[in-house]
A and B are shown apart, each in its own frame.
Chain A
Amino acid sequence: MDKNKRKAYIINTIAIIFLYLVFFILIQTKVMNKYFMGIAIMTCIMIIMAMSLNIVAGFLGEMALGHAGFMAIGAYSSAYFSIALMDTGFPLPNIIVLILAMFVGGIVTGIMGFLIGTPTLRLRGDYLGIVTIGFSEIIRIFFINFEPTGGAAGLKGITKLVNFNNVYWITIVIIILIFTFGRSKQGRAIISIREDEIASEAAGIPTTRYKVLAFTVSSFFAGIGGALYAHYQAFVEPSKFGFMFSIEMFVIVVLGGLGSLTGSIVAAIILTALPEMLRGFAEYRLLVYSLALIVMMIFRPQGMLGRSEFSLTKFIDSLILRKDIKNSIDGGETR
């Protein structure tokens, strides 16, 4: 097992560095221009958002339709913080400012998630979904009316701190963190609540505490995603974080497979990058997208990967041993 683990770590590290080098060469040779770089950055942010939503929607199995609201809190609080920090004129390197802003965004959003989650997680299913929609809309209306952050016109004057280089590594770190969380004692407790709440309670798991924990962790990472978004766009406005944006993120998670983090990554890449590439078909884009959603639900309701994770190690093994590739997609192992 230990040997396998070490092998998996080595393979994944090589893959991550290789992928980075590919991007690095593409950028250096100007094959990847500013436009494609923008898409790549947005994709990274959506990967973080989808994975963080997957903690509540997939691991905990609750319907959370208000992720855009948490992203808004992260975006606004981190932007407000970085503007204030820049104003003091204290000479800090950009990357430190970005990391500090991310932590501020994540922690403020995490606290909000805790405050919202504690009373609402008594509700289940549809009702929880409605309440999360309600909170997300209240957050949006709050920012429309809140003058210190620019009100409906939005918050301007944020320094653009995010570029492809740093967002790539930040995304990798967050992917690793969320994976580790999913495998940890806490993560497994949360999954057990999804499987059978009563049984896990009987097994001595304090279900309410773990539900709130899942909600808080999920909103913490959503806040980080929001912080990255704010420092990439250099501008945030409340209208971006509407009901439809929450739905969009939820759809990514569902299409990737509820409970499958690699599924979320794949779906986030497909649903963010592909529509941008197909700008020419812009008119039919959303039509096809919604149709795909309906067809997917009727014929493959568990999403692309279901609950299993795609494992690079197993994939390579199956290539070498010429086994059926299907084996590489059954779950539970290291990525």
Chain B
Amino acid sequence: MDLFLQQLINGLNVGSIYALIAIGYTMVYGIIKLINFAHGEIMMFGAYFAFIFATSFGMPIWAVILVPMIIMALAGVAVEFIAYRPLRDAPRLSALITAIGVSLFLQNLALLIFKADPKVMPKLFPETIINLGGVEISSTTLVTIGLSLFFMVLLDLYIRKTKQGRAVRAVSEDKDAAILMGINVDRTISLTFAMGSALGALGGILYSVAYVQVFPTMGVMPGLKAFIAAVLGGIGIIPGAMLGGFIIGMVETMTKAYLSTTWADAIVYIILILVLLFKPTGILGKNTREKV
């Protein structure tokens, strides 16, 4: 039972990171219908910046986390401006391939700058073990879950309560109608990329702290899984991405603990395929009839 609780907390830990990254995918997909493959690389660069700030500059913890988030928010906006904006009216396949191109480009840029060997990520948070009735939780795990939840709630409030948040929802619902309502669509899309990338960078930092290393291809696998999480919850729906992230994290941890380490990824994919075959819109998605 203790082991189960332990695994439950591990699952929450991994799940909260996936949820953070998945939000970026789902917001971008919701607003411009593009699978932003470069999101995994945004998260990787976020982790690298945090690594540099923590080791070479010795910045305080809050700056080590916040500054990379801001830098990556700007980088996300830049990527959208340079690579995706010229293709907004092009066929969706072209935009998708551009996203793959950006992803490869950023990966190889990181490979060139930081070299292929993994760097050891320092412990950002003071390490103490908290004992809760037989269940041991490290402070890093608590901070990870806490920070993720904090930023998710913040995002949710921002999207639901503010004017800009309402604009984001309006554009993803109907772009043309949003233009007629006087919403600046370009600026709203930039804002979406900024928010998604900032959360992605946070996810990257927390991921690298949890797995104690940073390397140029670290964004690929968590990126793919976070994307699966977004699809699982219903792509385009922010609470869906959070739910999907926690489910994927939980499934992965539980398979690793009770079934097999090597099959964990396969089971994640099997769940994804089953969900897509039987309910392609995801868990929280609504069924929409296709028009001829």
Closest Cβ of chain B to A134, distance in Å, is: 4
**Interface size range of chain A in the complex:** 35 or more
A298 to B103, CA, bound (A): 16
Which secondary structure characterizes the binding site on chain A?
A: helix
Q: What are the residues of chain A within 8 A of B220 when measuring CB–CB?
A: 243-244
Scan residues 89-137 of chain A and give those whose CB is less than 8 A from a CB of chain B.
119-120, 122-123, 125-127, 129-131, 133-135, 137
Are A126 and B101 closer than 8 Å at their CB atoms? Answer: no
Scan residues 233-282 of chain A and give those whose CB is less than 8 A from a CB of chain B.
243-244, 247, 250-251, 254, 258
A35 adjacent to chain B (CB < 8 Å): no
Are B92 and A125 closer than 8 Å at their CB atoms? Answer: yes
Are B87 and A301 closer than 8 Å at their CB atoms? Answer: yes
Given contacts A63-B93, A247-B100, A294-B83, contact A287 B105 (CB under 8 A): yes
A135 to B87, CA, bound (A): 29
Are A137 and B101 closer than 8 Å at their CB atoms? Answer: no
Are B112 and A291 closer than 8 Å at their CB atoms? Answer: no
Which of A127, A138, A247 interacts with B280 by CB under 8 Å? Answer: A127
Closest Cβ of chain A to B264, distance in Å, is: 9
A298 to B269, CA, bound (A): 32
Closest Cβ of chain A to B262, distance in Å, is: 5
Closest Cβ of chain A to B105, distance in Å, is: 4
A298 to B84, CA, bound (A): 9
Q: What are the residues of chain B within 8 A of A287 when measuring CB–CB?
A: 105, 108-109, 112
Closest Cβ of chain A to B217, distance in Å, is: 9
Given contacts A125-B92, A131-B276, A287-B105, contact A138 B98 (CB under 8 A): no
B181 adjacent to chain A (CB < 8 Å): no
Q: Which residue of B lies closest to A126 (CB)?
A: B35
Given contacts A141-B263, A284-B112, A294-B83, contact A133 B224 (CB under 8 A): yes
**Interface size range of chain B in the complex:** 35 or more
Which secondary structure characterizes the binding site on chain B?
A: helix
Q: What are the residues of chain A within 8 A of B107 when measuring CB–CB?
A: 286
Given contacts A138-B269, A141-B263, contact A294 B277 (CB under 8 A): no
Q: Which residue of A lies closest to B103 (CB)?
A: A290
B180 adjacent to chain A (CB < 8 Å): no
A312 adjacent to chain B (CB < 8 Å): no
A297 adjacent to chain B (CB < 8 Å): yes
Are B292 and A293 closer than 8 Å at their CB atoms? Answer: no
Given contacts A130-B276, A198-B292, A286-B108, contact A301 B101 (CB under 8 A): no
Are B101 and A130 closer than 8 Å at their CB atoms? Answer: no
Are B265 and A283 closer than 8 Å at their CB atoms? Answer: no
Closest Cβ of chain A to B184, distance in Å, is: 23
Are B98 and A293 closer than 8 Å at their CB atoms? Answer: yes
Closest Cβ of chain A to B15, distance in Å, is: 19
A289 adjacent to chain B (CB < 8 Å): yes
Which of B91, B104, B266 interacts with A141 by CB under 8 Å? Answer: B266
Q: What are the residues of chain A within 8 A of B90 when measuring CB–CB?
A: 297, 301
A133 to B97, CA, bound (A): 15
Are A298 and B265 closer than 8 Å at their CB atoms? Answer: no
Are B104 and A290 closer than 8 Å at their CB atoms? Answer: yes
A180 adjacent to chain B (CB < 8 Å): no
Which of B96, B262, B272, B273 interacts with A144 by CB under 8 Å? Answer: B262
B270 adjacent to chain A (CB < 8 Å): yes
Are A290 and B108 closer than 8 Å at their CB atoms? Answer: yes
Given contacts A198-B292, A243-B220, contact A137 B269 (CB under 8 A): yes
A251 to B100, CA, bound (A): 9
A283 to B107, CA, bound (A): 12
Contact pattern, B 97-139, Cβ under 8 Å of A = 1, otherwise 0: 1101111110111011000000000000000000000000000
A301 to B89, CA, bound (A): 12
Q: What are the residues of chain B within 8 A of A247 when measuring CB–CB?
A: 100, 104
B55 adjacent to chain A (CB < 8 Å): no
Which residues of B are interface residues toward A (Cβ below 8 A)? 35, 83, 86-87, 90-98, 100-105, 107-109, 111-112, 220, 224, 227-228, 231, 260, 262-263, 265-266, 269-270, 272-273, 276-277, 280, 292
Which residues of A are interface residues toward B (Cβ below 8 A)? 63, 119-120, 122-123, 125-127, 129-131, 133-135, 137-138, 141-142, 144-145, 198, 243-244, 247, 250-251, 254, 258, 283-284, 286-287, 289-291, 293-294, 297-298, 301
23 A-B pairs (CB sep. < 8 Å): A63-B93, A127-B280, A134-B269, A134-B272, A134-B273, A138-B266, A141-B265, A141-B269, A145-B263, A244-B220, A250-B97, A254-B93, A258-B93, A287-B105, A289-B104, A290-B101, A290-B103, A290-B104, A291-B105, A294-B98, A294-B102, A298-B83, A298-B86
